[in-house]
A and B are shown apart, each in its own frame.
Chain A
Amino acid sequence: MTMTAQSCDSGTGPVGLRWETVCRLDRLQPGRGVAALLGGRQVALFRLPGAFGDEGADDVNSVVYAIDNIDPCSGAAVLSRGIVGDRNGQPVVASPIYKQAFSLLTGRCLDDPAQEVEVHKVRVVDGWIQVELS
């Protein structure tokens, strides 16, 4: 998985793996995203109302996904503001700038194979969302 030039630059982040607590699950509206700032890195979190497998689904009906927030096609930090949905059953977010769809499972851009964003592991502990950062 390649990383965008900008995420490489954010050298202030912690080294090694670590679960970082972000916010309470109920801050996220099902079907929409938010941005989080995690050690200088921008992450987009999305809460979907269940049904797409069960990774990370602590809350009864929710799944939370995390990918990098910067849209590699425009360079703007906006993926958290895209519309979420599915392409052939695969959960995706559409960049609000030029509308390319990114898989929430793999980070791959389904409209431009040259583009990709990093995917982060998410879990919900006692109603708190945590993201694993590398």
Chain B
Amino acid sequence: MNTKTLVIVGHGMVGHRLVEAMRSRDEAGQWRIVVFGQESRPAYDRVSLSSYFEGASEGELSLVADDVRRDQAVELRLGARVVAVDRDAQTVRTASGQTRGYDTLVLATGSYPFVPPVPGRDLPGCFVYRTLDDLDAIRTAAEAAVARGDPGRRSGVVVGGGLLGLEAARALRLLGLSPHVVEIAPRLMPVQVDEGGGALLRRLVEDLDVAVRCGVSVQSIAKGPRGRGLVAALSDGIELDADVVVFSAGIRPFDQLARAMGLPVGERGGVLVNDYCRTADERIYAIGECAAIAVRGAVGGVGRTYGLVAPGYAMAEVVADRLLGGGATVTAADLDTSTKLKLLGVDVASFGDAHASTRGALEVVINDPVAGSYQKLVVSDDAKTLLGGILVGDASRYATLRSLMGSKLPADPVAMIAPGGVAVGADELPDSAQICSCNAVTKGTLRAAIAKGAHDVPALKACTKAGTTCGSCLPTLKLLLKQSGVTVSKAVCEHFACSRQELFQIVAGTGIQTFSELVARYGSGRGCDICKPAVASILASTGACGSHILDGEQATLQDTNDHFLANLQRNGTYSVIPRIPGGEITPEGLIAIGEIARDFKLYTKITGGQRIDMFGARVEQLPAIWRRLVDAGFESGHAYGKALRTVKSCVGTDWCRYGVQDSVSMAILLELRYRGLRSPHKLKSAVSGCARECAEARSKDFGVIATEAGWNLYVCGNGGFRPRHADLLAADLGTETLVRTIDRFLMFYIRTADRLQRTAPWLEAMEGGLDHLREVIMDDKLGICAELDAAMARHVAGYSDEWRGVLEDPVKLARFNSFVNAPGTPDPTVEFVDRRGQRVPVGYDRGSQRVLISGPTLQVAGK
């Protein structure tokens, strides 16, 4: 068989979907595929572009799976712009002069951002928002502005208040600039949202500290005074300072190639194609944002382009089908234009015929400005069929409503959007309802996949692609799984069939105070090294039992680290880390630690957590070491516990010329407040005195960054195995609100997380994500904030130093023995060797049971 060559111009989201569709269907290997992409990177998730500023890496955004990379039948040419097509010779030519023949050509060139022709739009500091390269450039400019020494706030102007403009504004905010959105229409998101929704949307966006100006346009951009920054002049005479200007005033289809080769284009641009995406040339197709699908029955070149990914994916699937001999066409249902704004903290969704343009369509609106919610449904003239809708402020019904589009409503439309009205569950949806609109996956397909064994969200994603694009259907996927009766074992271990969260509820609800009672009543057997420490942590955080973690039976539940209040090392010795709140320490403190380490011959090291670790203490030495530390004013640092570790700080206003708040005092306040707090996993924090972020607060479970107006609170970050940057939970908080919000955040985490689940995976698993978290701890949606506050107040009032508690109690002290029958005799297996002037354990070759004389030696320069 002769293989044919398919050339695709453009390696964006849609072009790549065509590659995947072809490769998964072309089993006979009829086609070889050559893709030309103008960007330097292979296809990536443009829909999630903004997450690049929240820490998503290039790799995480990439759409190209390993098997495609290895696929011999696909040739990918990056950084290669196609500049000409010879339709007679059937070849394409790139900017660098390469040519390539094709049997079929597919244009998937997408769109380019429209920049209104205002004077000054080319000045340095002006950007568009479309590619990763654009974002890199914006980041560089914003960082340079933030790092500049002169006083005053750094600001950005976004030209255009549509979906992308609002995303760009939020990105500027994340980069430390104060954003200003300028929209020529009288409201934000004019395409998707009507006047009523727009008014509320504006208020919600302004609450996020994004300034909004509607009904005005930008007239010119000029260099700022003394060459610093830019000035944007508006049509109402106002001038806005800007360090960065981002144009987001709409997109235009990339149809130049088609024009140059004489193919018809739509009257408003876009390569004109028929209902299976073919152009006037039978060997050339166009898909995605560059294609204009001819409007049926219209005369001449009337076509419609689509600026969303779902219609583009549908087009790619149709072309793949056609090239392999099928007869698919794109239907109106494929061309879903539903949108859910991904802007954090503002829920906006619009779907279907949002502006009621269908003949006879009726609108049902519930506008509650006090609750901050605007809900509108558009229904057919008999009020039975759902045609579209707009949700602002509360888009929780979006997934269900959107999948009901075009079908009969299960209830009265008013009841469906009224507060506390009918909740439509996924079980009421017909199998034909589209659950994932980005990937056109119906409920029927998902149910079949579940029946075939896809029993969790990752499995469903892998076999149906649902949920892999914008993610707004994920809650419905979870619901479907739940309704299919799939149970994912959440059992803690063989002794408890329930999850940690359920155990927590049981302990809090029953007041049970001992492990033996808990396991006897709610579990089986004797427990183990998994459930015992988990229960110990719950008992400690509910305050259900005695005040010290080594009191009574609790002592038997603790991991060896907690049991000896120190960290076990590989040779059986322990390390000692006293608390050094905020990393601030007096010369006397340093001397005391130095003397103690010297006297007990302990190895010392500065930790990554801004404090000092002393290694090599034997069990029986711990009380004597701590006696001296406590006398010198030190407390336990809980380096051994699943508990608060450190709150790092930077120097802040006391010394730093850029500091805007006193970060050291804040770090100390937080560390002292939460010291000793036991949690499902360790907790780390940091406070930075300005946006330069020297304390690395955004890699912490809770991080605080000073602003001119107060404190920004970031949550759920970590370094470690799978690093994640923390998300902005709330901005410009006063100290009191900041502390109260952290209190609730921590207590909510302690109550609901799984065993050994740090805050980042906890948030990732949370239905509703950050928005839900914010609703629970800031808006008190569940009505539990008073309880969380009280729990933290109890913790703060009940804190006492664990090491002091041991030293004062002879029963606890008696445990710190090397041998029950020879107290004080050192463990004979513990041996040290010299390393750079300090003692380290004799090397032990893990696994082979050979005792090495010394570990591997390193060549140290200058030694």
Contact = CB atoms under 8 A, between A and B. Distances in A.
Nearest to B533: A83
Interface string B563-591: 11000101110000000000000000000
Nearest to A72: B849
B819 A35 contact: yes
A96 to B, nearest CB: 4
B560 A78 contact: yes
Contacts of B829: 6, 42, 70, 75-77
B529 A37 contact: no
A94 interface: yes
A91 to B, nearest CB: 7
B849 A85 contact: no
A105 interface: no
B525 interface: yes
Interface residues of A, number: 45
A34 B529 contact: no
A130 B526 CA distance: 25
A35 B828 CA distance: 13
Contacts of B556: 29-32, 83-84
Given A42-B829, A85-B532, A91-B526, A76 B821 contact: no
Interface in B823-863: 825, 827-830, 844, 846-847, 849, 851
Contacts of A99: 529
B846 A74 contact: yes
Contacts of A23: 820-821
A35 B525 CA distance: 25
Contacts of B560: 78, 81-83, 96
Contacts of B456: none
Nearest to B818: A35
A87 B530 CA distance: 11
Contacts of A86: 495, 525-528
Contacts of B568: 78, 81, 96-97
Interface string A1-28: 0001110000000000000001100011
Given A30-B556, A78-B560, A78-B572, A37 B532 contact: no
B494 interface: yes
A37 B819 contact: yes
B564 A97 contact: no
A48 to B, nearest CB: 7
A83 B528 contact: yes
A80 to B, nearest CB: 9
A89 interface: yes
B209 interface: no
B564 A74 contact: no
B528 A77 contact: no
Nearest to B843: A75
Given A32-B555, A35-B820, A77 B572 contact: yes
B784 to A, nearest CB: 33
A129 to B, nearest CB: 9
Given A37-B821, A42-B829, A82-B529, A31 B849 contact: no
A87 B527 CA distance: 8
A114 B212 CA distance: 69
A75 B851 contact: yes
B563 A81 contact: yes
B329 interface: no
Contact of A83 (B495, B559, B817): B559
Nearest to B850: A5
20 contacts: A6-B829, A27-B820, A29-B556, A32-B555, A36-B821, A42-B829, A73-B847, A76-B844, A77-B572, A77-B830, A78-B568, A81-B564, A83-B557, A85-B527, A85-B528, A85-B529, A86-B528, A88-B494, A92-B528, A101-B528
Given A35-B818, A48-B526, A74-B846, 8 more contacts: A22-B820, A35-B827, A42-B829, A49-B516, A75-B849, A83-B528, A89-B525, A96-B559
The 10 closest A-B pairs by CB, nearest first: A31-B556, A85-B528, A96-B560, A94-B529, A76-B572, A83-B529, A34-B820, A86-B526, A37-B819, A81-B560
